[in-house]
Amino acid sequence: MLTIAEAGKRLATGAVTSVALTKQALARARDPDGEGARTYTVLFDEAALAEAEASDRLRAVGVVSSPLAGIPISIKDLLDVRNRVTTAGAPFMSDMPPAKRDAAIVSRLRAAGAVIVGRTNMPEFASSSLGLNRGYGTPRNPWDRKTGRVPGGSSSGAGISVVDGMAVAAIGSDTGGSIRIPSALVGIVGFKPTQRRVPLDGCFPLSNSLDSLGPLGASVGCCALVDAILAGEPPEIPDPLPVERLTFAIPRKTYLFDELDAAVSQSFERALSVLSAAGARIVDVDLPGFTVEKVGFTQRPSFVPAEVFAVHRALLADRRSRYDPRILANIAAGASLTAADYLDMVAVRRAVITEIGNALEGIDGILAPTVPTVAPTIASVDGNDASYHKANGFLARNTAPFNMLDGCGLSIPCHEPGAAPVGLMLAGMTGSDHRILAAGLSVEMVLARALQ
């Protein structure tokens, strides 16, 4: 994997061209022995090479629009691209009208000089944390690929595109963990921003209240750069916050720490020890409002079924039989929710954001395992509906609360080299994005030194 900074240095010195980087990414995506056919739903070969050639010509005369100039980027299949159909992970949507314009963040990426390689695979309509797709196929996790493990979802192809060098960075969406989950399971960094910072225009919705768009990359710095561009901010990496000045909260009494896989628990506790030894202040915090009923969404009436059903009502009228039955079950659950249920959820959400925000006053971020288990095998979760739904909810258990809290969060690898990938989640309340990213840079550096 290349970081954006490393690729940028090579471009600046002439050691490589954007055309060469793009050809390499496309070759890996087209390799019949690789995962490209299941990682991308469509590749923009001709357009990507034209963008790369234009970037090289501009660089030759001293025009470099941003640190992303000439860098191959993948985008999730739910983002509109002008004159192309957005299938949102559902092949049966291929006969829909093409988009009239690029999604807002695609326009921002183009303006920054990024090369859009293609659109990455995802579960139908982003409705799964496992990453399975019966129509386009399921890309296998790079860890233990021979066995065949889930990539994590719903930004499943996004994570694989980065790890396998089919893109330098990727854009995903996150409604309950769909950036952070695959990042944790494949061993890269992912960032979910506060929702309002990044426009959702031109993004096929799952939940208008919870959807966020953000980056996956090889480092926190990669995510910080891409996030800034998506948010319309100057493309800069923040200065790292000295780790010895940081205070992190561990909510051990919450369900985030129930039933942790042994590998996850060991990697997490080791990461805490390393951060503590480096000078970070780590405190246990009591969050009585942090309950499944208030901040979980897979075990209670939630925004997702209500809002996704509203989106799909018209499509279901004549395409119901073409949906993946498991995805259809999630969508159809919203039909029984009433307006009163929805208003209750809005009120609960507003109150718990205030309650937990007050309890975390003076805290730089919450630390917890991103996902409570390492990547399960595809066979173990795809065999029957009961195992599928249980695993689907379990993988999103730790990440989903921070969507309900309108927060932001990083997943940073914290496993030893060669071990099963494990993510350390560093999460913050709404609007604390820059501080979380700045703290994440220091956390990443400390962990990298200790785990090498």
User: For residue range 176-205, what is the model confidence (pLDDT) as tens digits?
Assistant: 999 999 999 999 999 999 999 999 999 999
- How confident is the prediction for the chain on average, in pLDDT? 96
- β-pairing, 115-120 vs 72-76, is parallel
- Could you say which of 127, 154, 302, 432 is catalytic? 154
Other C-beta atoms closer than 10 Å to the C-beta of 197 total 20
User: Is the pLDDT assigned to residue 368 strictly greater than 80?
Assistant: yes
User: Is the pLDDT assigned to residue 428 strictly greater than 70?
Assistant: yes
What gap in Å lies between CA 169 and CA 428, rounded to an integer? 23
265 is catalytic: no
What gap in Å lies between CA 121 and CA 382, rounded to an integer? 17
Across the range 81-101, mean pLDDT stands at 98
What confidence tier does 299 reach under pLDDT thresholds 50, 70, 90?
A: low
Across the range 97-111, mean pLDDT stands at 98
DSSP strands (E only) in 77-120: 115-120
Identify the pLDDT of residue 302.
84
What residue type is assigned to position 223 of the chain?
C
Identify the pLDDT of residue 177.
98
User: Is the pLDDT assigned to residue 88 strictly greater than 70?
Assistant: yes
Residues ≥6 apart with Cβ < 8 Å to 415: 187, 263, 267, 421, 422, 451
Where does CATH 3.90.1300.10 sit in the chain?
4-230, 243-297+349-451
* Residue 248 three-state SS: strand
Across the range 147-166, mean pLDDT stands at 98
Question: In this predicted model, which residue has the larger pLDDT, 299 or 333?
Answer: 333
Contact (CB, 8 A) for 64 and 106: no
Contact (CB, 8 A) for 347 and 400: no
Give the DSSP H/E element, type plus range, for residue 9.
helix 4-13
Identify the pLDDT of residue 383.
87
User: Is the pLDDT assigned to residue 240 strictly greater than 70?
Assistant: yes
What gap in Å lies between CA 20 and CA 78, rounded to an integer? 27
User: Is the pLDDT assigned to residue 391 strictly greater than 90?
Assistant: yes
What residue type is assigned to position 15 of the chain?
A
From residue 227, give the alpha-carbon distance in Å to each of 22, 117, 446: 21, 18, 22
Say what percent of the chain tops pLDDT 70.
99
* Residue 359 three-state SS: helix
Classify the C-alpha dihedral 7-424-407-345 as positive or negative.
positive
For the record, the structure tokens of 38 come out as 């299941």
**pLDDT single digits (tens) 11-28:** 999 999 999 999 999 999
Identify the pLDDT of residue 297.
73
Contact (CB, 8 A) for 152 and 55: no
Other C-beta atoms closer than 10 Å to the C-beta of 46 total 8
From residue 333, give the alpha-carbon distance in Å to each of 154, 324, 382, 396: 19, 14, 21, 18
76 is catalytic: yes
What gap in Å lies between CA 116 and CA 129, rounded to an integer? 25
Residues ≥6 apart with Cβ < 8 Å to 301: 337, 341, 345
CATH of span 243-297+349-451: 3.90.1300.10
Lowest mean pLDDT among 147-161, 288-302, 427-441: 288-302
Contact (CB, 8 A) for 438 and 211: no
Across the range 351-368, mean pLDDT stands at 96
- Could you say which of 155, 178, 267, 442 is catalytic? 178
Identify the pLDDT of residue 452.
74
Identify the pLDDT of residue 300.
65
- Could you say which of 66, 76, 209, 212 is catalytic? 76
Beta pairing partners, 76: 120
Biggest alpha carbon–alpha carbon distance for the chain: 61
The CA R_g of the chain, rounded to the nearest whole Å, is 20
Options 3.90.1150.10, 3.90.1300.10, 3.30.360.10, 3.40.470.10; CATH of 4-230: 3.90.1300.10
Query: pTM for the whole thing?
Result: 0.97
